[in-house]
Amino acid sequence: MRALLLLFLLALPMLTDAQYTQKLPLRQRVEGTWRFRKAGDGGDAYKPVQIPAGVHTALLQNKLIEDPFYRDNEEKLQWIEREDWEFECEFVPEEAVFQRTHVQITFKGIDTYAHIYLNDSLILETDNMFRTWTAEVKKYLKPGKNILHFYFDSPIKKVEPEWKALGYELPGSNAIRTMTRKAQFHYGWDWGPRMVGCGILKVPEICAWDDVLIEDTYVHIESITPERARLIFRVRYRSEISGPVSFVVLDNKRKSIDSRQLRPGVREDSVIYDLKNPKLWWCAGLGEPHLYDFTFQIIKNGRPEDQINLRTGIRTVELVTEKDANGKGESFFFRLNGVPVFAKGANYIPQDIFQERVTGNHYRRIIDDVVTANMNMLRVWGGGIYEEDTFYDLCDAKGILVWQDFMYACAMYPGNGKFLKNAAREALEQIERLRNHPCIALWCGNNENREGWYHWGWQMQFDEGQRTQIWRDYLLLFSDVLQTYVRNFANNVPYWESSPRYGRSNPKSNTEGDSHYWGVWHDEKPFEVYNKEVPRFMSEYGFQSFPEWRSILSFTLPEDRKLDSKVMLAHQKHPRGNALIAEYMKRDYRNPRTFEDFVYVSQVLQAEAMRTGIEAHRRNKPYCMGTLYWQLNDVWPGASWAGRDHEGRWKALHYFVRDAYTPLIALPYMEDDILKVFGVSDLSSDSTVSLRVRALTFSGKILSDVSQPEVKMRPDSSHLLWQGTLKTVLNGGKPDNAVVEIVLTNAVGAVVSRRLWYAVPPRKLNLAQRPGVELRVRQVDDGYELALTTDELCKNVLIYTDIPGFFSHNYFDLLPGERRTVLFKTERILDDPQGAFRVKHLAGATE
Ligand code: BMA
């Protein structure tokens, strides 16, 4: 007996240990053998597939279709959207799962209409790719082999009857998309292909648990003072048990314990947690994006029943829309921790039309590129997807504010009860998912739906009753449901009903709200109108160009490499795109010699256009408090407004933006033959800089040279630093043979901003056709250093190579006598480094 007792006592610590971990819910991915087939095809039609996959990538994995991006393959794949598809997984659950009281499977990224069966029992019907679906499966799951089966309805055929039954056609391009809560760009956009697929875009997860499961934890920031931040940890849990437990919050410094009584059912509760001397979260340029790591636990008898780790930041964010003192307009800007932020950034769209191909590496690279380009805000545009957790984690960590649209764009949406319920549930889930991220600065109802309704002639096709109905549906969703949800659940993040507030045809678009200014591009207005059409916050404006030449090579054959070839036209989704690029190019540039040169000039043209806009917006600070150009990136390789192409290669625009977004900058602006230089500071403290404005001929003769040492720049300001007549600046030089260099240096003599300015458009410049450019290559640690010199000014120098890698600088103007070094980052070791690089420049690429 004694011996037995001893044995028992010895075993006790082990038992406790095992029980300790056994208590926690078991969470694991459904790993197994996946296969798929076209519905209706026989059993032997099943093909293996790696999940996550949509039908297109599943077919591609099996080489049953060709690369959808290659040549004009897109067109040949349109049959896919009208078929139903089946996916299936054979898996063996871990034994431990069966020892738990509850077993559930959670599905995310189910695109879109699926019947999901476990061992032939229907466990779920899904109809929204943005939602999370959970099924209790304890009674269907068995030890050994299980079959999880998905039947996907064609997203087109599924909604056709309902679409017809509406009695009218909702406005918007490819508007049948509005019937389905699925990424709207899948149906084709003016920068992307049409790939209406279905599939499993995330691996499902099993969760097995006994007594308590935490469903959601939310850190609500109640108040912040320098001494203390009061946080309220709100938790929603499911419990099978009642009785006393402890709610524990841990950060790396301390632990707080609160006693609570559990009650069975789905319950909400909260604990207060005070953080001493909180370090605030700041966006890039204003400070450190400090983050706190917390663990929240529910502990019973010393053992955690469930626990959640979460990372968050302490900050307040406001959207300030206040009437101007003169009564003429209304502000629109973000205030972070009480400090106004001039937003610098771009509109972000998904990184691939097939989201399942986007990896953590893609996210890290793109957010790094955003940070490198001195941005502090991205707008996640409403025709794409609510981004993945990784995206927001990176934005939190790097201090990138996120303007988050709900996923509605350029259309009117149905308003029936079923649709609204689905939309409301989606909103709530997404708000809950994102509300601990300090990067979220705004929730916006939709992209251009309001603008379309009022200004794109949409109303004309409807009778009075239909108009009333459609608008009522709009208001119900965007002004009522989404707004209420954001107010109640989004952790004090502001809501904005629609972007833009007013369209460009309304003069109010320049005095209040955010604006999408498309007079440049759609209305063919010259780039200079950006200087006049300055809104309070520019949330979209853009100009197209072609992707990097190597990206073009990847989807074409030599015979396709012409502006109007069938293949190139298939990769230009804007009906007037090529004509507009060509028309604008003619205004400012001489004729490109080849198609490759055209592609290069298109990028320089685009970069100049966006720089004109960015500079106008920054100069007009604080009247204008933000500039987000359209668009950061691409979903496939094609002509588009992106500054960074689908392969992640920087176009000229991304290089220009990095310079144009530097926090301290001197900006040239000519008005009535007077060259004005504005100093803009986005910093929150005073700076002292020296300004130098100097004019040179293209062969390097100095025409004028003025310096202003010790210039004070107030924090967060824009003001005139210097001005001179063009005549005195050029001082006898000719405008077609002169460049003005404007340089700001800081107190220790480092260059903080440098801008080269010309008095006439590039086509009028008298550039040397064959400037004596020399390029010397030397191997360095992370690649090759390229040193460039020239004896005559060389405009828009593009260095290129077939070797994969990244050029630290490109598309820059090289002054005579200047020595410029560029780092080419690559992992390759080159046999002939000197012969590996080539240089293109404007005079050589145009006639
Ligand atoms: C905007 C966007 C997109 C579109 C872009 C270019 O207004 O919201 O819908 O791709 O213009 O036309």
What is residue 361's predicted lDDT score, i.e. its pLDDT?
A: 98
Q: Residue 441 in contact with residue 403, Cβ under 8 Å? A: yes
CB 609 within 8 A of CB 656: no
Q: CA 803, CA 828: separation in Å to the nearest integer? A: 8
pLDDT of res. 42: 87
| C-alpha distances in Å from residue 643, one per residue of 266, 396, 545, 717, 828 | 47, 23, 8, 27, 26
Q: Whose CA is nearest to atom 12 of ligand 1?
A: 190
Q: Is the pLDDT of residue 7 over 90?
A: no
Nearest ligand 1 atom, CA 190: 10
With a 6 Å cutoff on the Cβ, whether 517 touches ligand 1 is no
Q: Could you report the per-residue pLDDT of 398-443, keeping only the tens digit for each?
A: 999 999 999 999 999 999 999 999 999 999 999 999 999 999 999 9
**Given a cut of 90, is residue 773 above it in pLDDT?**
yes
- Ligand 1 center to residue 605 CA distance, Å? 19
Torsion of CA 371, 372, 375, 378, to 10 degrees: -50
Q: Please give the pLDDT value at position 8.
A: 44
Per residue in 624-654, pLDDT (tens digit) is 999 999 999 999 999 999 999 999 999 999 9
The overall average pLDDT reported for the chain is 96
CA–centroid distance, residue 443 to ligand 1 (Å): 19
401-405 and 377-380: which strand pairing?
parallel
Q: Which residue has the higher pLDDT, 762 or 505?
A: 762
- The ligand 1 atom nearest the CA atom of 410: 9
Query: Greater confidence, 253 or 352?
Result: 352
Question: From CA 797, how far away is CA 818, in angstroms rounded?
Answer: 13
The pLDDT confidence band at residue 561, using thresholds 50, 70 and 90, is: very high
Contact assessment for residue 652 and residue 549, using Cβ atoms and an 8 Å cutoff: no
Q: How many other C-beta atoms are found inside a 10 Å radius of the C-beta of residue 697?
A: 18
Reply yes or no on whether the pLDDT at 15 is more than 60: no
Q: Is 448 in the pocket of ligand 1 (CB under 6 A)?
A: yes
> Ligand 1 center to residue 69 CA distance, Å?
21
Closest residue by CA, ligand 1 atom 9: 410
Give the Å distances, CA to CA, from 747 to 448, 686, 709, 810.
46, 12, 9, 28
630 lines ligand 1 (CB under 6 A): yes
Residue whose CB lies within 8 A of the most ligand 1 atoms, among 174, 380, 410, for a mutation test? 410
Q: What is the 380 CA–ligand 1 centroid distance (Å)?
A: 13
Q: Looking at residue 743, what is its pLDDT?
A: 98
Calculate how far, in angstroms, residue 254's C-alpha sits from the geometric centre of ligand 1: 49
CA of 822 to the centre of ligand 1 (A): 34
Classify 653 as helix, strand or coil: helix
Contact (Cβ atoms closer than 8 angstroms) between residue 374 and residue 663:
yes
How far is the C-alpha of 518 from the C-alpha of 829, rounded, in Å? 46
Rounded to whole angstroms, the Cα distance separating 741 from 735 reads: 14
Closest residue to atom 4 of ligand 1, CA basis: 190
> Which residue puts its alpha carbon closest to atom 8 of ligand 1?
447
Does residue 738 carry a pLDDT above 50? yes
| Residue 836, helix vs strand vs coil | helix
Report CA(262)–ligand 1 centroid distance (Å): 50
SS3 108: coil
Confidence at 23, pLDDT banded by 50, 70, 90: confident
Q: Is 514 in the pocket of ligand 1 (CB under 6 A)?
A: no
Atom of ligand 1 nearest to the CA of 447: 8
191 CA from centroid of ligand 1 (Å): 9
Quick: pLDDT tens for 783-802.
999 999 999 999 999 999 99
Looking from the CA of residue 382, the nearest atom of ligand 1 is: 8
Distance 516 CA to ligand 1 centre (A): 9
Q: Provide, rounded to the nearest whole percent, the portion of the chain with pLDDT above 90.
A: 95
Q: Which residue has the higher pLDDT, 12 or 771?
A: 771
Q: Is ligand 1 within 6 A of the CB of residue 153?
A: no
Contact 336, 401 (CB under 8 A): yes
55 Cα: distance to centroid of ligand 1 (angstroms)? 27
* Residue 191, pLDDT score: 98
Q: Which two tokens stand for residue 783?
A: 């690649």
**pLDDT tier at 318, thresholds 50, 70, 90:** very high
Q: Which of 448, 573, 634 to mutate to test the pocket of ligand 1 (most atoms within 8 A of CB)?
A: 448
The one-letter amino acid at 83: E
- What's the whole-model pTM score? 0.96
Q: Which residue among 444, 515, 540 has the greatest number of ligand 1 atoms within 8 angstroms of its CB, and so is best to mutate?
A: 540
Token pair recorded at residue 434:
């994102």
Identify which of 426, 414, 347 has the alpha carbon closest to the alpha carbon of residue 383.
Answer: 347
- SS3 at position 576: coil
- pLDDT given for residue 605 in this prediction: 98
Element (H, E) at 601: helix 595-619
User: For the chain, what percent of residues have pLDDT higher than 70?
Assistant: 97
Whether the predicted pLDDT of 20 surpasses 80? no
Q: Which candidate, 430, 514, 419, places its Cα nearest to that of 473?
A: 419
447 lines ligand 1 (CB under 6 A): yes
Q: Is 189 in the pocket of ligand 1 (CB under 6 A)?
A: yes
Q: Which among 111, 134, 135 has a CA at the least distance from the CA of 121?
A: 135
Give me the half-sphere count of Cα atoms (radius 13 Å) on the Cβ side of residue 667.
Answer: 29
pLDDT interval class at 2 (50, 70, 90): low
Question: Residue 14: what pLDDT?
Answer: 45
Gap from CA of 634 to ligand 1 centroid (Å)? 13
Predicted pLDDT of residue 6: 46
Token pair recorded at residue 550: 């190597």
In this structure, the number of other CB atoms found within 10 A of the CB of residue 595 comes to: 18
Q: Residue for token digits 């100069």?
A: 619
| Centroid of ligand 1 to alpha carbon of 493 (angstroms) | 25
Distance 631 CA to ligand 1 centre (A): 9
Predicted confidence band of residue 12 (pLDDT cuts 50, 70, 90): very low
Q: Taking residues 165-184, what's their average pLDDT?
A: 95
Model pLDDT for residues 90-149, shown as the tens digit of each residue? 999 999 999 999 999 999 999 999 999 999 999 999 999 999 999 999 999 999 999 999
DSSP 8-state code for residue 131: S
